[in-house]
């Protein structure tokens, strides 16, 4: 599957590259790659807002004290960057957003009527990965995570939110054309009661929370594997596992049940009886790290992204000099309609222009020659063959429908 390997296709299609001067594991997104990344991020925000998520923005670093409070330091110390000394205080580049979101929740008291509260963020995170583990966009040292933390009023509400998070994940991967059992599988990741160094010590809570997630999966009626010693330090999780073009499996997305942080951060809400009650927490990532998802999709599509994700959605190809004036008008109309379009006004033959566009995986080509100029049309050609001569307005309508439906 080397021809689909994102590490090969990424630079070839001018999506991203790793610059040795910038550093290992720090991908540089070229304009085309930045476009794909931006469209994925828009998809996340748009879909999550529809489902009642509250999108926030928190800083990329925080005082070391925050991660000591959460317990991530020292649990994640080996994957965190060294503290930065500022004004006789220590700050850390964040490896996760949960402590930030919990502090944000604590900004003011909350009523049971406000719960579940779904706090979401497209967050830039920083983790020290061993050099030998780094791989293209799949394993990097900085990435954007489609992250969220759901504050719940009861275990039953938390179980419902786990189900809702899985519904969201299945919807989004369905838009990508990924199928359960074929492209991904579920894993219930459990803790190890004997490993007090890796896992928060509370045997009763582990038993209860693992059973809660197991019941959620059983109610869904889908196959899942149970894996010991794969949980987060603060609770069990449901992982969505996917294979890359080289056959290596990674956790792409995850939903976690957290019985530890509500205590550490004293997360409470005011119940119906007017008293303070302990909240419950679900961590989840809808499409995981944007970079890792991009790697999976580059390989899934072989670089030929669906129209809504394609960096260049259409290319206008004038056959000769006499056809360039109309081609420029068509280009302007496409761009005004929000379609990412380019014009190939080089002196190359039409055949060479078409071959070049197909090599670059451009979904639609608009060919303009004498016939098209006379009729003020363009001949539309897609990946599945020639569509035919159409007016520019009809072409725009067709492309916009395909883009907005994310077909």
pLDDT of the residue at 298: 97
pLDDT of the residue at 199: 59
State the average pLDDT over residues 202-219.
87
CA 109 to chain centroid:
31
The span from the CA of 166 to the CA of 285, in Å, is 10
The span from the CA of 158 to the CA of 151, in Å, is 8
pLDDT band at residue 318 under the 50/70/90 scheme? very high
Rounded to whole angstroms, what are the CA distances from 26 to 20, 123, 342?
A: 9, 16, 29
Average pLDDT, the chain: 93
CA 241 to chain centroid:
14
Q: Hunting for tokens 């476009």 — which residue is that?
A: 35
pLDDT tens digit sequence for 32-62: 999 999 999 999 999 999 999 999 999 999 9
User: Nearest 5°: phi and psi at 36?
Assistant: -60, -45
pLDDT of the residue at 9: 96
pTM value? 0.94
pLDDT of the residue at 77: 83
């Amino acid at each position: 599957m080397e021809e689909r390997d994102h590490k090969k296709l990424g630079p070839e299609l001018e999506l991203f590259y790793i610059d040795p001067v910038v550093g290992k594991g720090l991908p540089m997104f070229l304009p085309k790659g930045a476009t794909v990344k931006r469209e994925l991020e828009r998809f996340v925000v748009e879909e999550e807002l529809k489902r009642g998520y509250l999108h926030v923005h928190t800083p990329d670093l925080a005082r070391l004290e925050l991660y000591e409070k959460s317990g991530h330091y020292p649990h994640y110390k080996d994957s965190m960057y060294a503290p930065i000394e500022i004004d006789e205080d220590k700050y850390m580049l964040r490896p996760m957003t949960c402590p930030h979101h919990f502090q944000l929740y604590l900004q003011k008291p909350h009523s049971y009527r406000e719960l579940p509260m779904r706090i979401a963020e497209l967050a830039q995170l920083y983790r020290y990965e061993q050099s030998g583990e780094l791989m293209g966009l799949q394993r990097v040292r900085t990435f954007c995570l489609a992250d969220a933390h759901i504050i719940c009023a009861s275990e039953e509400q938390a179980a419902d939110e786990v189900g809702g998070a899985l519904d969201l994940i299945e919807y989004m991967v369905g838009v990508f054309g990924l199928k359960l059992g074929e492209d991904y599988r579920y894993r219930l990741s459990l803790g190890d009661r004997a490993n007090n160094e890796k896992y928060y010590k509370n045997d009763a809570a582990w038993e209860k929370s693992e059973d809660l997630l197991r019941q959620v999966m059983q109610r869904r009626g889908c196959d899942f594997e149970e894996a010991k010693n794969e949980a987060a330090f603060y609770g069990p999780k449901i992982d969505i596992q996917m294979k890359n073009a080289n056959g290596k499996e990674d956790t792409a997305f995850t939903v976690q049940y957290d019985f530890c942080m509500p205590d550490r951060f004293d997360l409470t809400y005011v119940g119906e009886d007017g008293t303070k009650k302990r909240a419950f927490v679900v961590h989840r990532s809808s499409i995981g790290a944007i970079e890792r998802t991009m790697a999976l999709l580059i390989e899934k599509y072989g670089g030929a992204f669906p129209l809504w994700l394609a960096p260049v959605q259409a290319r206008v190809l004038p056959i000769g000099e006499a056809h360039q004036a109309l081609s420029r008008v068509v280009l302007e109309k496409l761009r005004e309609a929000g379609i990412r379009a380019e014009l190939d006004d080089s002196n190359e033959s039409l055949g060479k222009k078409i071959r070049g566009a197909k090599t670059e995986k451009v979904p639609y080509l608009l060919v303009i020659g004498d016939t098209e100029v006379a009729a003020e049309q363009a001949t539309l050609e897609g990946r599945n063959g020639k569509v035919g001569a159409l007016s520019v307005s009809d072409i725009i309508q067709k492309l916009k429908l395909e883009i907005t439906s994310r077909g």
